[in-house]
Amino acid sequence: MITAYYSNKKKKVNTCLCHKILIVDDNEYNIYALETMLKMRGYMSDCTNNGKTAVKMIKEKWENKKCSDKCPGYQLVFMDCSMPIMDGFEATQIIRKF
């Protein structure tokens, strides 16, 4: 998503081009289907197959803000409830503590 702010004389552009959507599911078909639907609508996403890596990805994006200082991190997370290693419920509890 690109946002632009205009003033009378100066033009400031704040761009954040990193992915804003995270898909977390252990079923590869579900990831493929959701990722395809999002791409058809112009959205890009990151994907992972368990809650533990999802927590790591969200934390890294939140702490490092790789693309800019104004990067808000992930705006939407599609999370499966039942996954190996760490399920969606446990991952969500950890994420809410950030």
Residue 72 near residue 36, CB atoms below 8 Å: no
CATH number for the domain that contains residue 39: 3.40.50.2300
Considering the chain, what is the average pLDDT of its residues? Answer: 83
Q: Is the pLDDT of residue 12 over 90?
A: no
- pLDDT category of residue 16 using cuts at 50, 70 and 90: low
Domains: count for the chain = 1
Report if residue 57 sits inside a domain.
yes
Report if residue 39 sits inside a domain.
yes
Q: Is the pLDDT of residue 24 over 50?
A: yes
17, 26, 69, 89 from 54: Cα distances, Å:
20, 11, 22, 12
Report if residue 12 sits inside a domain.
no
Rounded CA-CA distance 61/77 in Å is: 13
Per-residue model confidence (pLDDT) at position 66? 63
Question: pTM for the whole thing?
Answer: 0.77
Rounded CA-CA distance 45/57 in Å is: 12
Per-residue model confidence (pLDDT) at position 77? 95
